[in-house]
Each structure stands twice: as structure tokens, then as C-alpha cells.
Chains A and B, each alone.
Chain A
Amino acid sequence: MATPASSPTPPLEVAAPNRLGGWRPGARWAQETGSDAWLERQLARKRAKRAEIQAQIDQLPAHQRPPMRELGRRSEPAPMPFKAMAPDEGGAPARPPYDLAGAFWQQGRVLDRAVVAGMAGRDHGSTHGHLPRSAPSVATARPGETAGGRPAGRTGGQEGSRAPLVTSHRQGQKIVIVAACPAARALGLKPGMAVTQARALVPGLDVRDADPAADAALLRRLAVFAVRRWSPIVSPAGADGLWIDITGVAHLFGDERRLCARILRFCRRIGIKARIAVAGSGGAADAVARFATEPVTCVPEGGEVAALAPLPLSALRVEAGVVEAASRLGIVRIGDLLAMPRGPLTRRFGATLLARLDQALGARREPVVPILPVTAAQAEVRFLEPIATAEAIGEALAHGMALLTAELAARGCGARSIAMLCRRVDGSDQVATIGTARPTRDTAHLVRLMAMRIERIDPGFGIEAIRLVATRSDRLGAEPVGGLVADHDPDLAPLVDRLVGRLGARHLYRAALLESDIPERSTRRVEPIAAVPGDRLRWPRPVTLLHRPEAIDRVMSELPDGPPLRFTWRGRAHRVVRGDGPERIYGEWWRRPGEVAAVRDYFQVEDETGARFWLFRRGDGGDGRTGDMSWHLHGVFG
């Protein structure tokens, strides 16, 4: 007999009636199972069980989590759709890893996660660096799994919640993997593998297009950062490496190891797995970094040969064809190459292979094209003695500005904003900034703009140096000057700059007409330099518009559409002798719900003295939903 006890519906407020009729107040189900406390206990038990199962699921790596269909009702483990075959029946089961996870799940055990994590860690690591103490020292770092757009560092603990991610690109006829996230590598996916194969191995794989341009941009940003932070000579090496010349730099950070550890920490913080090698030449560092197993490898001085010998030939940055041809001759490792006579090698493989070998061993120099970070144009004026007067600052400013504009001219740029930093004798900086409407390098104009800021500078005990920095600059080519053409349009930019400097950017504007009939919304302030269309409205509009419509009282008017006959505004009565209207303006229902039905009826009226007003009535004079029929004055005509 079915009772409500097994149903999850909440109990009724009174004891539930027996379906077959009659009340049985003493029934056990009515006493226990129907009570609130009992239901609470049941629900709590379910919740706890669910949470426990969810915790177990969360502990699994992404690819081992049971898919939804296997979970069935989440409160209880679902049976496997296909029973696992015993090894002695069909040999080793060839199931994808997530099937194993499913089996594991069914048995209710907890997977040993350490194994997977260890595997993932080994597969992923990819920074190598190496530095020499004498000659050019180089370290290479390699952005690991960032190619796919998902920073590797963020996939750490969270990767389980997403599908394994790889990026792909077309190579000839097939589409191959370019980079794989840790979860994907744990599943055996590798760069170079065909995407079709990968999809077959891992259903639900997240494949995205590789973006080499973005990768290169990221690498370049890292290089620029390295220039600013670690060493002045940095160059990208390949698509995923950096050469950093640390000659004479390492001691600033302690020693080479500490420098490497610092770089490694930084890379980890921004989500890049890196491997670093330090060697006496760029080639050796590159080779060791790409094939080392340790995050940091420091090749001892003179140890390049020993470090390179066990590495495969492809570490020498030669084409795949050469590597393949050499492997056919039994030359697989660099050590094999070192043992061969050079003459026959050159004849067979060309000069490149030995050149690369010599570069790696430091016997031949290798040109490095360093990244030059773009810096803002600046000029500095130092004083023999501190200055404190406005006149002196103005003179120094004119001198410095001339230097700055010369620098800008050499770069083909014009300044959009300039900061003046006045270094005081107490070591603090006083900053004044100006902006211009258009790129310019007109010294006199810029000096005049900046001179307006001098009064805000507190010289304290004196200023010992003034630095002018073009914090923002745009391209500026040659420009026509003078008014040789008759209808030459005068350039307003200098005036705009001066007025903006005086009033502030918000207070100099043009008014652009908008597509709105509501007068308050029909204009918008735009930039003073912006091009504004010269439209005009066909309807009468007053020259003065009150900020806020003012209520007028003692209005006498004819309904529904007559202009008022008399009204009182600001305490003065006006008798209307002529009127025109109504011009009906509907509310903009798409902006606010309150305007859905709103209507304003505008009238242009003239009183007995000839004064003309723009009045409106809220509402259309008939329907009460359109407004409350109150009258307002909104503008005055000339």
C-alpha cells in the first residue's frame, strides 16, 4: 500500500489522510515519517551523501570524471553500461582513461591522484635556461602551454571542471595539435599529433585554433619585461623561447642560480611554465633548456661539450631533413657529431650543421638581435643651482620643450600629452601635465600650455632638474602651414588646447543633435574637435531652454488641444494673445517604463508684450494615463 511517506513532497500541515479513507491519527507513518524533523533528517542525509560523492568527483582529474550518463541519479552510483571484461577473457582492457575512471568510480575507491599529477608535471615543464660566465651568457625561457589561450598556471587545480584543451593548426593536408594543456597531455595528447586521432582518443576534447600572432605578442611582451627587469639584451628564440644575455648581470641578483630562480618564480606567477638553462653560448643554452629535465640547469664553465653530447641532433636548431639524414648514418646525438671528422660532414650536410655546432660550443659568434623597448620621448634639463621662481622655471621649460620637440620630430611623432616632472632638492617630484587635442610638436604652443601649469608647482626649497616626458604621442607627418589657399580653414586645435588648459576638458564642447524628440535629450556634448553635422530641426525650438521645466499655475486653456489663454510664471501673469500648437512629443518607451504612455503637448505662445514662451502640458488632454494635465514652461523664444 502506497503511503505518502516515501514521497519527497513536503508533509501536509495536518496528519496526512489515508488514501483509502478515514484518519488514522495513531499510525506510525503519521507520527514519524510525516513529521518535519523526520523530513529534515532524510534531507540532511541525502545532502551529506551527495556532498561526499561530489567531493570524490571533484578530486578526480578532469578526464576521469564520470560523465553524466553514468552518474544517473546523482545520489547513487550508476552501474557501468558495459561490464568490464576480465583480463583473462579478452586480454588487457583497451579502454580510454575515463572508462577506467568510471570503473574506479563504480567501486567507490579514490584514485591515486599523485600519479597523474606527477605525469602531468613532467610532461609540461618547459623552461630551459643556460648562462655562461664569460662570453655572452644566455638563458632561454619558453612559454609553455599558453599557446592555447588558457594560461597554464590557471589550469592547475581547476582543470577538472573543463574539457582538456588543445590548440590546432593546419599543416599540409591535416590539422595537427600545436599545444596541449596539462590535462590533455596527461591523456597522451602531444603537439604534432593529428586532431582526428586526438578526438578519437579523447571524446569531448576542446580544440581551438592556434593564434601564433598572439603567442608572438605575448613572447615579445615578456621580452620587453625582461629587458626592463633582468638584462638589457634579450631576444626571442624561436616561437617559444627567449635568449637573455646575462653577462655581467647575474651578480646583481646574487648569482646565476638565484637569477634563474627569480625568473622562474616570475614565470610561474604569470602562468607560464618555464625551463631555464645557463651556458657559455646562446646555442648551448638553447639546446640544454629545450631538452633538460630540471627546471634550472647551469652548465659549468667549459662544460658545454659534456652537456651537449647526450642531446639529440635536433637540439642544434637544424632542419628536420638534416636530422633525418644524419640519423640514417647513425648520427643521433651531438656527441656522435663531435666524434666525426669535419670535412666529410660539411660535404654531406652543408655548412649549417657545423656552424650551429660551433655556435653552440662557443667557437663561432652568433648575432643576437635584441628587443628594443619603445620608450616615451623625453628631455631633461638639469641646473647647477636649484631654481624656485616661476620665471626661471618658464625659461627652463622653454629650453626643455625645444629639446623634446626635436626628439619628437626625429621620431615623426606629435605629443598628445606631456608630463613635466620637477625634481626638488628634497628628492620629491612635482608633476604637471597637459594634453592636446591633436598631436603637435609646436614648441611655442606647448610651452604656452605648460606655462599655465607652472603656478601649480610648489618649488619647495628649489628645483634641481626638470624632465619633460611625452606620455602619449601619435604619428605626425608633415603638415601644410600658412594660408596660401584662399579658403584655408583655420586650425582651431591650438585654441582648443589653451581653453581646455584653462577651463578643463569638460567645459569646452560642441553640441551634437541626437535622434530624440525629447528636448532634454536632443543634444549631447561632444569633443571640441569632433566633426558635428550641421542639422537643424524643422520645428520651432527656443533659444533658451530651462534646465528643468518650471511649473506654471493659474493656467486657463481649452481642452483638448488649445493653447493656454493665460498663465502665471515666476509670479507674473501673462495673457496669451497668440499661440501655435500642439506639437505632440511621445515618451521614449524604450528608455523607461514610466514613459510608455507619457505625452507632452508643446505650444508656442506669445503674450500681450510680445514675449514668446514654449509651454507644454503633460498628457494629451483626454486620456489620464498620458499625463496629469499639469502645465510647464520649458523655454523662451527670442
Chain B
Amino acid sequence: MSNPSPIRADRLAALRAEVRGIEDMGGRGSAGVLPFGVAEIDARLAGGGLAVAALHEIAASSAGLWDEAAALTFIAGIAARRPGTVLWTFARADLFAPGLAAAGLTPDRVLYAEAGSDPDVLAVMEEGLRHGGLAAVVGEVVRAPMASTRRLQLAAETCGTLALMLRRWRKPAEDPLAEPSAAMTRWRLAVAPSTPLPVAGIGRARWRLILARQRGGDTHEWIVEGTDDTGRLALPAEFRDRPAADPGRADRAAA
């Protein structure tokens, strides 16, 4: 009874495709999507990946600095998988360039802009998006009014540049994703305990990745392994329904 009939599903898919076509009319639909390279995540995303000509918001699940560091690394991994220079703008600098390089975003690809305040960060982001030649524009803000996110989304659509916005926590009780936004997708990140290694040491980081909202799609939640040095995520071995004979995958999970 709860199962939708095949006809219904077909009609739903057709409607979604139509809506997507309307949405793409204003901008360059040809900019395409940026898949994560993890089938389970890409399958849940409308279009099979992050839309490139769009604004995406990422926030930490808590006000803890560690969750924000996970969100930063997640953003760096996405930006690292696009070719070209990345404009990274923030109100106050606390990024460590070698740390970004560890996520695949090497220093030769990042242009930092220390804007000083949220409105300036938003203005710099829009300036960067309108240039059109950047791989991605990243901004760290606390507050972004609906009007600003709409402007950014429009600029990203028009110029075909990926816009990533880290919504920072200011007070522990104030969820940055509570206010509405025109972003295409909104994500939350939290750290998760990693798998113990059989030897002393520390393995690959693990995150709880929550797709809090997406246009034309559903929300979802995954436990993923953090970015490697090329900016790619992976699913942990125990959560993955993998074929028995896949030695490469098994190796990576153990690493």
C-alpha cells in the first residue's frame, strides 16, 4: 500500500525533470555536476552529484571546533576536485595551508581573501563568482540573509562557478542552517569515531555527513571516511555492501 505504483514513480520522475529544466533555464545548465565518486551518495543527489553552477551550504553539526574543521576539510575536498584556482574568503583567517593541502587543495591553487566582516565576505564571494574563471568560491560566514544567498545563487548560475559557503556557529544555541536560504543543497557535518587500527596509531577520519536539504531531492545521512589527499570521500568498509573480491577497496578501508 505504501509502495508507490510504477506509473506514479514515472510521473514523479518526469515532473522532477521538468522542474529541473525550468530551474536551469536561467543559467548554464551545461556546467554539469560534480560527483563525489561514491555511488551511494551520488545516487541520492538530484543530478547525480553537486551542481557546479550553484550555491551549496555546509555547516557543522555542533559549535565545536572539530566539527567545523571537518566541514572545512569537506569543502576543501570538493574544491580540490575542480580544476583551477579557488578563492577562499573569510572574516578572520584560521586556516592552515598545509592542512588544506592534505585534502588535495595545494597552496598554488588557493587565493585567500580576508574580508573582515560577513557582508564583505558575501560581496567578495559574489565578485569571485562573477569573474567566472575560478574553480570554486568558498566563503565562511555566520549570517547570510536570504537576499544575499539568492544573489550568490544567481551569480553562480549565471557564471557557472561552484559556490561553497561554510555557515559558522556563533552561539551554541543558534543553528546556522535554521534561517532560510536559496542554496541548492545544505549539508551538516559531525565527526564520528574512527575504526580502531590493529596497531597503535590513528586511521582515516570518519564523519557523519548529513544532507539536510536539497532542491529536487530528499535528505539523507551517511557515515563516511574523510577526504583523502585528492579530496575524495569513501564509505567505511563495514557500511558498504561490497563484492567479496575487491582487494583494492578492502585495502583502503584498512589503511
- A residues with a Cβ closer than 8 A to B are 490-492, 494-496, 498-499, 502-503, 507-513, 519, 522-523, 525, 528, 531-537, 540-547, 577-580, 604-606, 608-613, 635-638
Whole-angstrom distance between the alpha carbons of A541 and B76 in the complex? 14
| Interface status of B144 (Cβ within 8 A of chain A) | no
Contact status A604-B202, CB under 8 Å = yes
Chain B residues with Cβ under 8 A from A519's Cβ?
96
Segment of B8-16, B36-44, B193-201 engaged in the interface with chain A: B193-201
Contact status A546-B202, CB under 8 Å = no
Determine how close the nearest CB of chain A comes to the CB of B110; give it in whole angstroms.
7
- B residues with a Cβ closer than 8 A to A are 64-74, 76, 84-85, 87, 94-103, 106-116, 120, 123-124, 127-128, 131-134, 191-194, 196-197, 200-203, 205-207, 226-227, 229
Question: Which of B71, B103, B127, B202 lies in contact with A502, CB distance below 8 A?
Answer: B127
Whole-angstrom distance between the alpha carbons of A546 and B115 in the complex? 19
Whole-angstrom distance between the alpha carbons of A507 and B201 in the complex? 39
Contact status B202-A541, CB under 8 Å = no
Whole-angstrom distance between the alpha carbons of A528 and B131 in the complex? 15
Nearest B residue to A634 via CB reads B96
Determine how close the nearest CB of chain B comes to the CB of A550; give it in whole angstroms.
11
Contact status B66-A636, CB under 8 Å = yes
Known: A606-B193, A609-B193, A638-B205. A513 touches B69 (CB 8 A): no
Determine how close the nearest CB of chain B comes to the CB of A383; give it in whole angstroms.
32
Whole-angstrom distance between the alpha carbons of A609 and B116 in the complex? 32
**7 tightest A-B contacts by CB?**
A490-B133, A638-B73, A611-B66, A543-B99, A534-B106, A534-B108, A545-B96
A-B contact pairs, 9 of them (CB 8 A): A507-B114, A509-B112, A510-B108, A513-B107, A542-B69, A544-B68, A608-B193, A611-B67, A612-B202
Known: A510-B111, A511-B107, A543-B69. A578 touches B202 (CB 8 A): yes
List 8 additional A-B contacts (Cβ < 8 Å) besides A507-B116, A543-B76, A638-B71.
A495-B128, A499-B113, A502-B124, A509-B114, A523-B96, A528-B111, A638-B72, A638-B205
Contact status A503-B96, CB under 8 Å = no
Chain A residues with Cβ under 8 A from B97's Cβ?
511, 513, 523
Whole-angstrom distance between the alpha carbons of A75 and B133 in the complex? 81
Contact status B115-A490, CB under 8 Å = no
Determine how close the nearest CB of chain A comes to the CB of B93; give it in whole angstroms.
9
Contact status A510-B110, CB under 8 Å = yes
Contact status A512-B107, CB under 8 Å = yes
Contact status B113-A503, CB under 8 Å = yes
Contact status B191-A545, CB under 8 Å = no
Known: A507-B116, A541-B99. A536 touches B106 (CB 8 A): yes
Determine how close the nearest CB of chain A comes to the CB of B141; give it in whole angstroms.
15
Chain B residues with Cβ under 8 A from A495's Cβ?
87, 127-128, 131, 133-134
Chain A residues with Cβ under 8 A from B100's Cβ?
543
Chain B residues with Cβ under 8 A from A542's Cβ?
69, 96, 99
Contact status B194-A513, CB under 8 Å = no
Contact status B202-A606, CB under 8 Å = yes
Chain A residues with Cβ under 8 A from B134's Cβ?
490, 492, 495
